[in-house]
Amino acid sequence: MGAALLIVTALMASLAGILLCWRAWTRHALNWRAGVGAALLWSLSTGAWTIGFGAEIGIALALETAALLAFAFILTRIEIRPVQTVRDRTAPPLPRRRYGRGIARALTAGLLGFAAAIGLAVLFATRAPLAEQTRLILAALAMPSLWCGAIAWTVCDRRLLLQVGVFLGLAATSAGITFITA
């Protein structure tokens, strides 16, 4: 009986928190009292889940329950609008473009950026002075971020040869240190 009461309390607190958030954001200005109330209700919900199932499972259940209830709440608020007629318009012809630089950017960001990111991740996974599991997990988490950074740098900067040189240098250096000193 005690666990069922905690579950019902947690669900009701999550739902009330979602309703308060909806009420706070439907006004033109954010109602801070409703926001504070929603945060308190979600804290109560998290506490109830934690008491009932322990910290590891309770926090995950609190976050998942709030997300699922919010999703269900959003689905109930969908409004279907009538189809609008589309006017016929003709766009002016696009100017002729050269695709060579775009292809070079895509290859630099995609292939060379990936080679540099994976090289640095492998170097970290094999040489960092940490426990083996920690090195592997951190390297696996860092690799997509490094690759995204390489892509962002390639897209944002006009100097393509500098990026090619840096990415090739990072890939070659990290591969050399990883495999030669093994």
Query: Sign of the CA dihedral 4, 8, 65, 141?
Result: negative
Q: How many CA atoms lie within 13 A of 28 on its CB side?
A: 0
The one-character DSSP state at 122 is: H
Residue 15 pLDDT level (bands cut at 50, 70, 90):
confident
pLDDT one-digit tens code per residue, 98-143: 777 888 888 888 888 999 999 999 988 888 888 888 888 888 888 8
> What's the mean pLDDT in 160-174?
88
Task: Give the pLDDT score at 107.
Answer: 85
> What's the mean pLDDT in 10-29?
78
> What's the mean pLDDT in 30-40?
79
pLDDT one-digit tens code per residue, 75-100: 887 888 888 887 878 878 877 777 77
Residue 182 pLDDT level (bands cut at 50, 70, 90):
low
pTM of the model: 0.47
> What's the mean pLDDT in 67-72?
83
Task: Give the pLDDT score at 103.
Answer: 84
Task: Give the pLDDT score at 115.
Answer: 92
Q: For residue 21, which of 93, 64, 73 has the smallest C-alpha distance?
A: 73
**CB of 105 within 8 A of CB of 154?**
yes
**Res 28 pLDDT > 70:** no
Task: Give the pLDDT score at 117.
Answer: 92
**Res 22 pLDDT > 60:** yes
Q: How far apart are CA 148 and CA 121, in angstroms?
A: 13
Average pLDDT in the chain: 83
